[in-house]
Amino acid sequence: MNLQPLRNRLDRMPMLKALVPFAAGIVLSGYGSLPLWFLAGAFLLSGATALLMRSSAATLGMLLTAGFAAAQLRTSEPDIPVGVHTSFELRIGEMPADRGRYATATARVEAWRDPVRGTWHPASSHIRLYADSLTRIDGGERILCRGTVRPLSARGSESYRKLMRRRGVAGTLWLAHDNLLERLPVGERTLHLRASERLARLPLAGDAAAVVRAMTAGDRSGLTPELRTAYSRSGLSHLLAVSGLHTGIVFVLINLLLWWLPLLRRGHLLRNLLAAAAVWCFVAAAGFPPSAVRAAVMCTLLQAALASASEYVALNALAAAAFGMLLWNPAWIGDVSFQLSFAAVAAILAWGVPLCRRCHTRWRAVNLLADAYLIGLAATLGTAPLVSHLFGIVPLAGLLINPAAIALATVVVFGGALWLLLPLTPLAAPLAWAVSTAAEGINALARLVAALPGGAAEYTLGSLPTAGIYLLLAAGTLAAWCREPKKTYFCPT
């Protein structure tokens, strides 16, 4: 096996080499803590050694220590009483999700009352709020209630509790009509909430309206449990959360709409600037979900490469996005959407794109269909072990319907994004018809596949087998990169 092609390829992806030890340090921090003086000393020593001696081992140690320290510094202790019955002032930070018998949302505790002295204390911890079906809660509202913050349930997995603690979630609180004391003035609403309200003005109804709000603004409050189950069993649940797919759709369509700008003087720079701004506005309207942030970073790097006419290495951009996001918030490494998004995009770039190149023909229409299928296949296979581990299900039929579902999702996302940008009354009726028809088509596909006898297999993969599968995939990818690229020669006749 020739390692020189592998070294050459990795030399073009320095961020990928930096990401692996940094992420490993974050993972190791979940198993214990170290004194900050020790971490600072280890970081400085390994950094000086790497700089002076150009030692690869010292560089790995510096990045490992940096990841460990970043995760430990961002882990905060709860500043609210747990297990004490008292009063709380809460701000609901997201659109509540309907679970049938109750609704759930993440809320921030802005203040709590000392039950002994009667004084109020400011706070910043988050809790998981559960409200019964008779108590309405809305995203962004402030409420005053009485209750007891309970520790995170021991019935859940340890990985889930670690993730909640990293996010600053101190526990859970049950809200009912009898312990809701007052609804406080809301104040200024976030862009995410205003985007959901603007989409609600489109003349849509039922499940189609819920799917449009979920795919465009990240508002999944209107999704019924039955519809969630259908999307999960059909392998289309990734469409319900604003992710890299949705951000990529906006990125491509905005660049197509602005194709004429390079005809003007400095127009190509203006197009790149407007396209990047539009992508980040879309991500902000969706509430900055981790997968969409990752995609926005990659799109921004690609726009910068187009503006400067420099080389763009997709896997290096993906690693740079992951490194920056984990440096900003190390807790994202345990976020489900973060893991699924990066697994899908890495599989597409490492396996899907090369397969598309090998399968190209002389017919453009055939190439488009083949590319859509192969990219969907790579993303589904790349996330299948993680989906089985997290959700206990392997969607088999999703491989067949993903291309059609993605085509319909393009109509929904573009129509919804256009309404967010231009909420004009003459556009309401045609946009509502287009996005409603596409959303109903996706719903019909999801329900049809979910009802098939062999559409999904219920199987839960353990933690070690899941890690082993991804290690084997990584080893296979590195082995494939060791192959010498074929050289072609042009012989004049």
Residue 491 has pLDDT above 60, yes or no: no
Residue 214 has pLDDT above 50, yes or no: yes
The residue written with tokens 């995939």 in the block is 473
Beta-carbon contacts of residue 454 (< 8 Å; ≥ 6 apart): 396, 397
Tell me which residue of 40, 127, 50 sits closest to 90, measured CA to CA: 127
Q: 456, 395 in Cβ contact below 8 A? A: yes
Residue 112 has pLDDT above 90, yes or no: yes
Which 3 state secondary structure label does DSSP give 177? helix
Residue 226 has pLDDT above 60, yes or no: yes
**DSSP characters over 226-265:** HHHHHHHHHT-GGGSS--HHHHHHHHHHHHHHTTTGGGST
Mean local confidence (pLDDT), 211-217: 89
Tell me which residue of 316, 315, 318 sits closest to 296, measured CA to CA: 318
Over residues 175-213, the pLDDT tens digits come to 998 899 888 876 666 777 788 888 888 888 888 998 998
Mean local confidence (pLDDT), 244-260: 80
Tell me which residue of 326, 316, 321 sits closest to 69, measured CA to CA: 326
Counting residues of the chain whose pLDDT is more than 70, the rounded percentage is 90
CA distances from 319 to 134, 184, 399 (A): 46, 43, 26
pTM of the complete model beyond 0.85 = no
Lowest-confidence segment of 47-51, 307-311, 426-430 by average pLDDT: 307-311
CA distances from 152 to 87, 95, 156 (A): 19, 21, 8
Query: Which residue type sits at 111?
Result: A
The residues that bridge with 231 in the sheet, in sequence order, are none
Q: 356, 375 in Cβ contact below 8 A? A: yes
Q: How far apart are the first and last CA of the chain?
A: 36
CA distances from 268 to 250, 282, 309, 313 (A): 18, 21, 11, 21
Which pLDDT belongs to residue 158? 59
In the DSSP assignment, the letter for residue 104 is E
**DSSP characters over 360-425:** --S-HHHHHHHHHHHHHHHHHHHHHHHHHHHHS-EESTHHHHHHHHHHHHHHHHHHHHHHHH---H
- The 10 Å Cβ neighbour count of residue 306 is 16
- The 10 Å Cβ neighbour count of residue 26 is 25
Residue 162 has pLDDT above 70, yes or no: no
Which pLDDT belongs to residue 433? 94
Which 3 state secondary structure label does DSSP give 173? strand
The pLDDT confidence band at residue 160, using thresholds 50, 70 and 90, is low
Lowest-confidence segment of 1-10, 110-119, 322-331 by average pLDDT: 1-10
Counting residues of the chain whose pLDDT is more than 90, the rounded percentage is 17
| Gap between the Cα atoms of 58 and 60, Å rounded | 5
Which pLDDT belongs to residue 489? 45
| Gap between the Cα atoms of 75 and 82, Å rounded | 18
User: In the structure encoding, which two tokens stand for residue 288, read together?
Assistant: 């900055």
Residue 26 has pLDDT above 80, yes or no: yes
Which pLDDT belongs to residue 163? 61
The pLDDT confidence band at residue 490, using thresholds 50, 70 and 90, is very low
Mean local confidence (pLDDT), 80-109: 85
175: left (phi over 0), alpha (psi -120 to 50) or beta: beta
Mean pLDDT of the chain: 83
Q: Burial letters for 288-299: b for 16+ Cβ neighbours within 10 Å, e otherwise?
A: ebbbbbbbbbbb
